[in-house]
Amino acid sequence: MSKSGRITRSLSKFQALTTTETWVSTSESRPSKRIKWSEEASDSFHNTQSLVKADDGVAPGTPPNRRGKRKVTDAISDRTQFLPRLDIPWKIGAHVSAAGGVEKSVINAATIGANAFALFLKSQRKWTSPPLSDHSITEFKKNMKEYGYESRHVIPHGSYLINLGNPDLQKREKSYECFLDDLQRCEALGLEMYNFHPGSTVGAATLEDSITFISGSINRAHRETRNVTVLLENMAGAGNIIGGDFAHLAKIIAKIDDKKRVGVCFDTCHAFAAGCDIRTKEGWNSTMDEFSDTIGLPYLRAFHLNDSMCGLNSRKDRHQSIGQGELGLLAFQHIVTDKRTRDIPMVLETPSFEMPKEVWGVEISVLGSLCTSTGKETDLSVEATEGNQLEILEERIRVAVKAAEAKNGKSKGRKLTAKRKPGDKKRKRPVDEDDASDTEEGSLCSHD
């Protein structure tokens, strides 16, 4: 029998954890303003479209239709439609939608069989947002208890606009207010961690000065809040962005007064883009050794699990579905079977193509299948028998992604490029200097 035949035959054995029902019902809502979609406009955000909804219920990566409307997604509350929850020591989930209220994010996580999740607490692309309602706060806490989630397995993600490293005092203060508001929302919801991108020098400050600005802002926010732990995210290392080197994060942490309230969220795509070759077990262990020596393993508090569209040391932040990019599934096997990563929230920031149950549900179940219910490391490797199990599992994800692309189109999960008239020159998007991103880097993640 041919190799493709063996994979197709064996693939059927692994289909039990997903269904073909649609994850959500849909309605429509007019966006606050029209957005001109172009390669430049999308490049300063992450190339991971159709991931979660903003607080207005609209996917930031979803372009308006011809009537200027975009699709809104609602959570399912029928438990019979939920995928089986992972019963393993490794806490795996996704960055889910909070459309319609943060309380919906809990149900959305349960729907895809996640035992951890991330969310936005407000619009990630606005400086100010309406405060959380008493109803949303009460329902969020109720749902957390009802669906069996612990706050230590939830990772709220900060606004993309925040840049605590900006040397301009007025602009840094604007970022700080947005940052502090996020932390206060965490406290109101009973959440204990908050993940954000460290920031950028914007080419107008030294690295050391910006690190001092960032740590100073965190210390100030700690004094104005009670118990939320701030997680610094490692970055891809492009341009003026801070965090592409573990040493950057270590220097920030060294300046934090209350070190019990600071940690790191390790992004696999960012690490790979910054030069950490985690594709082999040796490479993974070497990276963890470097992390331990430079920062310290106790500071490792969360993961973003993302494959990469671009190669090692590319300095480009381009997320890809698990096992479908340059990292491959074997890289993630090392992570989700490592005893050091047990009980740490690990969330996908991969494209869902507006079909989270059908796509993320498969990715989560595949990652879960690499673990055992006893928590012991598996012996699943490239040399595995039975038709090469890693290839079979990668094929499961590939089939799910292709089906979602066929139904909703690649534009729901990939970068959109507007057509230019013949002779038109490529123009850069005007950028607000308050934005933490440097447009040439394309370093900011987009969760739609």
**End-to-end CA, the chain:** 42
**423: which residues sit within 8 A by CB, 6+ positions away?**
none
Q: Is 248 known to be catalytic? A: no
Of 40, 233, 394, 438, which residue is the catalytic one?
233
Contact 214, 256 (CB under 8 A): no
Return the pLDDT at 20.
35
Query: Which pTM value belongs to this model?
Result: 0.79
Cβ atoms of 332 and 322 within 8 Å: the answer is yes
Please tell me the predicted confidence (pLDDT) of residue 290.
98
Angle of helix 329-336 relative to helix 281-294, nearest 10 degrees? Answer: 50
Q: Is 264 helix (H, G, I), strand (E, B) or coil?
A: strand
pLDDT tens digits along 110-130? 999 999 999 999 999 899 999
349, 394, 435, 438: which one is catalytic?
Answer: 349
What whole-number distance in Å separates Cα of residue 213 and Cα of residue 203?
Answer: 14
**Do 262 and 230 touch, CB atoms closer than 8 A?**
yes
For residue 327, count CB atoms less than 10 angstroms from its CB and return exposed for 0-12, middle for 13-18, buried for 19 or more. buried
In sequence order, the β-bridge partners of residue 341 are none
Write out pLDDT tens, residues 45-62: 343 333 333 344 333 333
Give pLDDT, residue 78. Answer: 80
Catalytic residue among 85, 153, 270, 334: 270
Is 270 an annotated catalytic residue? yes
Catalytic residue among 125, 220, 279, 398: 125
> What is the rounded distance in angstroms from the CA atom of residue 138 to the CA atom of residue 180?
21
Question: Which residue out of 182, 317, 358, 394 is catalytically annotated?
Answer: 317
* Active-site residue identified among 46, 85, 197, 447: 197
157 included as an active-site residue:
yes
| 285 or 25: which leads in pLDDT | 285
Nearest to 443, CA basis, from 12, 47, 108:
47
Whole-number percent of the chain with pLDDT over 90 = 67
**Annotated catalytic residue 70:** no
DSSP classification of residue 297: G
Closest CA to 128 of 58, 175, 171: 175
Please give the average per-residue pLDDT across 311-327, as a whole number: 98
Tens digit of each residue's pLDDT (9 = 90 or more) over 210-261: 999 999 999 999 999 999 999 999 999 999 999 999 999 999 999 999 999 9
pLDDT at position 417 over 50: no
CA distance 23 to 75: 8
Q: What is the 3-state secondary structure (H, E, C) of 339-388?
A: HHHCCCEEEECCCCCCCHHHHHHHHHHHHHHCCCCCCCCCCCCCCCCCCC
**349, 360, 364, 355: which is closest to 412 by C-alpha?**
355
Residue 233 · residue 265 · CB < 8 Å: yes
Domains of the chain, residue spans: 3-412
Per-residue pLDDT, 389: 87
Instruction: Give yes or no: 176 in active site.
Output: no
Helix boundaries (H) for 24-133: 39-43, 103-111
Active-site annotation holder among 40, 43, 55, 267: 267
Active-site annotation holds for 386: no
Cβ pair 444, 46 in contact under 8 A: yes
Least confident of 14-28, 225-239, 401-415: 14-28
CB-based contact 172:181 (threshold 8 Å): no
Q: What is 3-412's CATH superfamily?
A: Divalent-metal-dependent TIM barrel enzymes (3.20.20.150)
Residue of 153, 157, 172, 315 marked catalytic: 157
Q: Residue 218 in contact with residue 172, Cβ under 8 Å?
A: no
Q: What is the DSSP string of 304-315?
A: EE-EESS-TT--
Instruction: Looking at 118-233, list the stretches that DSSP marks H as alpha helix, in order from N- to C-terminal side.
Output: 134-146, 169-189, 207-224
Q: What are phi and psi of 406, to 5 degrees?
A: -65, -35
Cα separation of 151 and 240, whole Å? 33
Tally helices (H) and strands (E) across the chain: 12, 14
Q: How many CB atoms lie within 10 A of CB 227?
A: 14
> What's residue 99's pLDDT?
95
Residue from 70, 95, 318, 319 carrying the catalytic annotation: 319
Q: Name the catalytic one among 304, 315, 396, 447.
A: 304
**Amino acid 440: pLDDT:** 32
One-letter-per-residue 3-state SS of 18-72: CCCCCCCCEEEECCCCCCCCCHHHHHCCCCCCCCCCCCCCCCCCCCCCCCCCEEE
The answer to whether the CB of 264 falls within 8 A of the CB of 288 is: no
Q: Which of 70, 85, 153, 160 is catalytic?
A: 160
